[in-house]
Amino acid sequence: MVRVGIINVTGYAGAELARLLHVHPEARLSAVSGRSAAGKPLAEVFPHLACHDLTIGEEVGDVDFVFSALPHAASAEALAPLVRAGVPVVDISADFRLRDPQEYAQWYGVEHPAPELLPQAAYGLTELNREAVRSSRLIANPGCYPTSALLALAPAVKEGIISPEVIVDSKSGISGAGRSLGLTYHFAEADESVSAYGLAGHRHLPEIVQELAAMWPRAGATEPPRPKVTFTPHLIPMSRGILSTCYAPLAAGKVSSGEETREVYREFYKGEPFVRVVDSPPATKQVSGSNMCLVYPTVDPRTERLVVVSVIDNLVKGAAGQAIQNMNAMLGLPETAGLEAPAVYP
């Protein structure tokens, strides 16, 4: 059994890791940390985690594998000594996602605490980057919005179906904002309401652009175009789930119908246990609590645009589930280990 530690178990991503690890056949959660709650039983902070007979500590101590669910900057600081000591880690924070430390500084407002580790980090969107994940000891777990957008767009980009004028309109449940308090997340304010935010630039935008740019096909020796992406996240009155609706103009002469496009997508994701191309628009509830991503690509023939709808559970495929999927890939375990439970529906 792999002895696993979670740094900062007291947020939603940390708690979700603990939930999922309880049914992992090859891993055992053996230590959890969290500064504000250190000394408390895990069951006191999260009654649903009483199954783990653990006390929250200051540190995770000697374990075989570490997940960090710390906020950015704090996460890289905490992980750097572990990485140097050879402990395999998955970082759920944003610290190792952007390859350029200057872009990181610009979007996150702090100097990167460990830029020298960036070259070792693999971007852990497992389906799109499996080989790099398998051979790395430091995984940057993708953001929840980028996961939903990139899985929706990757086949279209890689197969040359679209031009690089992309709009990603995302709808997220409120757990995406984390467990800290804010008037926006007060039930009476958020319930029965929907709103847009981050219109001046959300931190997940550069991550989406970086990954889309990296996968854009080159035409001969010329540099591929840098995709022009507008990304608008919205707050939805639900606890979990992200639905992303992605729009891009069709490139000439590739596909002309939704069915044709779904065929391309099905081929692209063939054999993937956690991505399913569906024949009608999916709902976030169909993946709630599970590591699945459902993708529905179609074509608007009136405007010759590709429209792709994808759904994930932001805390599972968008955070803790994908982190475990990455751990599995890193350790040579079956990628589905511990992640086989279907969605909780309804």
When asked if residue 163 is in the footprint of a copy of itself (CB under 8 A), the reply is: no
Nearest-angstrom CA–CA distance, 191 and 186: 8
- Binding to a copy of itself, residues 138-157 (CB under 8 A): none
Phi-psi region of 73 (alpha: psi -120 to 50; beta: other; left: phi over 0): left
Using the rule CB under 8 A, which residue among 38, 167, 251, 331 binds a copy of itself? 167
Using the rule CB under 8 A, which residue among 289, 326, 327, 328 binds a copy of itself? 289
Half-sphere exposure of 41 (CA within 13 A, CB side): 9
The residue among 112, 136, 117 whose CA lies nearest residue 125 is 136
When asked if residue 61 is in the footprint of a copy of itself (CB under 8 A), the reply is: no
Using the rule CB under 8 A, which residue among 191, 225, 256, 259 binds a copy of itself? 191
Between 78 and 98, whose beta carbon lies closer to a copy of itself? 98
Q: Which helix (H) or strand (E) holds 170?
A: strand 165-172
Using the rule CB under 8 A, which residue among 15, 69, 118, 319 binds a copy of itself? 15
Cβ pair 88, 27 in contact under 8 A: no
Cis peptide before 346 (omega within 30 of 0): yes
Using the rule CB under 8 A, which residue among 10, 148, 288, 328 binds a copy of itself? 288
When asked if residue 214 is in the footprint of a copy of itself (CB under 8 A), the reply is: no
Stretch that binds a copy of itself, among 60-68, 81-89, 148-156, 193-201 (CB under 8 A): 193-201
When asked if residue 239 is in the footprint of a copy of itself (CB under 8 A), the reply is: yes
Q: What angle do CA 185, 243, 207 make, to 5 degrees?
A: 85
Quick check: is 51 catalytic? no
Using the rule CB under 8 A, which residue among 143, 241, 318, 321 binds a copy of itself? 241
When asked if residue 271 is in the footprint of a copy of itself (CB under 8 A), the reply is: no
Between 17 and 87, whose beta carbon lies closer to a copy of itself? 17
Nearest-angstrom CA–CA distance, 220 and 201: 33
> Which residues, 6+ apart, have CB-to-CB distance to 260 below 8 Å?
299
When asked if residue 250 is in the footprint of a copy of itself (CB under 8 A), the reply is: no
Phi, psi of 206 (to 5 degrees): -60, -30
When asked if residue 86 is in the footprint of a copy of itself (CB under 8 A), the reply is: no
When asked if residue 174 is in the footprint of a copy of itself (CB under 8 A), the reply is: yes
Q: How many residues bind a copy of itself (CB under 8 A)?
A: 86
Q: Which amino acid is at 35?
A: R
When asked if residue 185 is in the footprint of a copy of itself (CB under 8 A), the reply is: yes
Cβ pair 323, 297 in contact under 8 A: no
Show which residues are catalytic: 144
